[in-house]
Amino acid sequence: VADLSPEELRGRVAVELERTRRRSAELTDAVDDEELVKQHSPLMSPLVWDLAHVGSQEEQWLVRDVGGRRALRPDIDDLYDAFQHSRANRPELPLLGPGESREYVATVRDKVHDVLGRVPLEGRRLVEHAFAFGMIVQHEQQHDETMLATHQLRRGEPVLHAPDPPGPEPGGARRGEVLVPGGPFTMGTSGEPWALDNERPAHRVHVDDFLIDSHPVTNADFFRFIDSGGYRQPCWWSEQGWRYLAHAELSAPLFWQRSGDVWMRRRFGRVEPVPPDEPVVHVSFHEAQAYANWAGRRLPSEAEWEKAARFDPSTGRSLRYPWGDDPPEERHANLGQRHLRPAPVGTYSAGRAPSGAWQLVGDVWEWTASDFAPYPGFEAFPYREYSEVFFGPSYKVLRGGSFGTDPAACRATFRNWDLPARRQIFAGFRCARTPAAAELD
Ligand code: AVJ
Ligand code: FE
């Protein structure tokens, strides 16, 4: 950002805003008005809520705060405040209708382009203003991923279409563990202009020797857990996990269904056999943890995950992405909803980390063992409700992004979080373990 002239920066931001809006439009234009206002699951908002919420945040943050312009629709601030109304209750609200919502977000966007054309983007205000626009792009992209999860929960004929991802590369599916030698590394970031408050500041963390899976856990791995009785044996589950399992009566990942001898799954309206070589997706933290216990392993801590994903032992530096500092390209990772599924393990050799691990970014979010907590020196920005109110033992951290995560909202430092019971998000995992002393010689 600092290397760009203000004019180049304005152009870059405008492109990102429009690219993002095309995605939101695609997700909301794919269904008719009735499906736009209906609730597809109590876990999710109606799609039309997400759309107008994106506009409302953009109005408050860019039109009012950055632009200093007068409010367009202060009367709807409360309706679209995520803290005022739970997702389950949003359909009952007097929300803007589909046409009104589209008109509203377009009006806000026009004003935003006007603000972008006039606001100082240099000197003292550069970082602050560039961040505000970047935050809004990321916010909309995050809601687009949420809307994609709503599409996955929706019943009915397929309305989203995309080509399948590439297949595994020669030798790519040879799986194992990679050893990350103990020592300090830099976790988090202070210099990344679009990094959100919870990724900051950069700080040194010591991590002991650990081994981590070279690839995410696959559906075939998960078949074995299920077949060996994993969902029926309390010994693999935490107390909280077992209570949740009994209450929710789970016996497989979300969207799976047994048909005779084979597992089938529903994927964006298509029913198909569960592909054995894809990362498992739509599992809760509890299921991931139970699998890891069953396999004699554990989930990686967040620090372990990040070190495996970005620490380069040849320079001692932490990279922006597993493959280096360059922004994601198609060859690096399955991001950005180019595909409507994870790629099989052993794809994207260009995206490997210095540790040797594959597919840390893209495909599926990966559950970690860690609670969502602030880094030392954390400062809430721009408001406490973005991250700070979620800190504590209730939320577990996920890392790496999924096939539905846009590159703008994905970095090796990016932190996602959710309740340990949630599985409608595109979440999978990989396992780790602490090596025995004899293994290190
Ligand atoms: C970071 C995905 C947990 O969706 O609750 C959207 C992102 N924050 N609007 C969420 C977010 C405010 C957040 N997650
Ligand atoms: Fe939001």
Distance 98 CA to ligand 1 centre (A): 22
pLDDT greater than 90 at residue 136 = yes
Please state the rounded mean pLDDT for residues 133-139: 97
Token pair for 55: 């506009």
Strands 392-399 and 256-259: unpaired
pLDDT greater than 80 at residue 103 = yes
Q: How does pLDDT run across 233-270, given as a tens digit for each residue?
A: 999 999 999 999 999 999 999 999 999 999 999 999 99
Distance 51 CA to ligand 2 centre (A): 10
Q: Is 387 in the pocket of ligand 1 (CB under 6 A)?
A: no
User: Which amino acid type is present at position 312?
Assistant: D
Question: Which ligand 1 atom is at minimum distance from the Cα of 390?
Answer: 3
Q: How does pLDDT run across 369-395, given as a tens digit for each residue?
A: 999 999 999 999 888 989 999 999 999
Chain-centre distance of CA 189, in angstroms?
Answer: 18
Instruction: Put the strands of the sheet holding 432-433 in their side by side order.
Output: 177-180, 210-213, 432-433
pLDDT greater than 70 at residue 406 = yes
The ipTM (two decimal places) reads 0.99
Q: Is 417 in the pocket of ligand 1 (CB under 6 A)?
A: yes
Q: Is 198 in the pocket of ligand 1 (CB under 6 A)?
A: no
Distance 318 CA to ligand 2 centre (A): 29
What integer pLDDT is reported at residue 257 of this predicted model?
97
Question: Which ligand 1 atom is at minimum distance from the Cα of 418?
Answer: 3
Distance 199 CA to ligand 1 centre (A): 14
Q: Is 372 in the pocket of ligand 1 (CB under 6 A)?
A: no
Q: How does pLDDT run across 277-300, given as a tens digit for each residue?
A: 999 999 999 999 999 999 999 999
Place of tokens 């599924």: 341
Question: Which ligand 1 atom is at minimum distance from the Cα of 143?
Answer: 6
pLDDT greater than 70 at residue 2 = no
What integer pLDDT is reported at residue 1 of this predicted model?
60
Q: How does pLDDT run across 51-97, given as a tens digit for each residue?
A: 999 999 999 999 999 999 999 999 999 999 999 999 888 888 899 99
Minimum CA distance residue for ligand 1 atom 14:
416
Percentage with pLDDT > 70 across the chain: 100
**DSSP conformation letters of 211-254:** EEESSPPBHHHHHHHHHTTTTT-GGGS-HHHHHHHHHHT--SST
CA distances from 91 to 34, 39, 86, 94 (A): 12, 7, 10, 8
Q: Is 416 in the pocket of ligand 1 (CB under 6 A)?
A: yes
pTM given for the model: 0.97
What integer pLDDT is reported at residue 71 of this predicted model?
97
Distance CA 174, CA 345 (A): 9
First CA to last CA distance, the chain: 45
